[in-house]
Structure 1
Amino acid sequence: MQIGVDAARAVENRRVFVVDDDDITATVLQFMLQDENETHLLSDLAALATSPLTPDLLLVGVALLAAHGAPSALKTECGGARLLAVADRDAGTAAEWATSAGADGVLWKPLTVETVRRAVDRQLGRRTELHIPVAVR
């Protein structure tokens, strides 16, 4: 099922690898991204080393990042791919550590199609719409 898919992005063929120890989160991310990106779901970070493909973007659960070590080393292992940590709102300190250690940003839960696609597009260097909230009194 394609929801709000931009045809130009769908044929661009950018690779996104999703690695999370929470199977539901990983599957949801894959579903949200598979229409506009070549999305691969990996079971753990060790599968990255054996993959014949190189990612353009990694979406990695913050718990896996903390167990692996520095995100900057993981990015180097993957050919300089961009990296977004996926975290719950209550995992603030782990997410802060991830960004200070080399992650390019944090994708906060709860996940919505719009926010996930906007964050991924931004990391892949695609144009994104600027949304400025306006308070009406």
Structure 2
Amino acid sequence: MSESLSPLGFIVEETLLREVILPEEIQAAIQEKLTAQQESERQEFINSQERQQLEFTIEKAQKEAERQKIEAQATAEAQRILSQGLTEQVLRLKAIEATQKLAESDNTKVIIIGGSEAGTPIILPGQ
């Protein structure tokens, strides 16, 4: 356009085109490209969501494993401390306390004192 208007003394710097009609093959190619781009972005979003869910699941499992490890360590430490403090006298005292609670129970009918080797009472249910 500027070549044809130049000899007449017109200088064309810019041309604005309106209502450009592209051939159907080009329109179809543009539409296909846009559809493929949107599908690609949608798949990226889905992959991102799945990755986040997987990371959350892994982090949750790791925290649960750490909690169970800490709980097991605490249980082991408690058992170690208890086993160090358990003496024959403490065990005998606990047996006596348990026997006393059983004797006070409404379900207890017959108690035999000194019936075991450890000297703890034997409680027999009544008929």
The answer to whether TM tops 0.5 is no
- Which has the greater radius of gyration? 2
TM-score, normalised by the number of residues in structure 1: 0.18
TM-score, normalised by the number of residues in structure 2: 0.19
Q: If each structure's helix is expressed as a fraction of its own residues, which one has the higher value?
A: 2
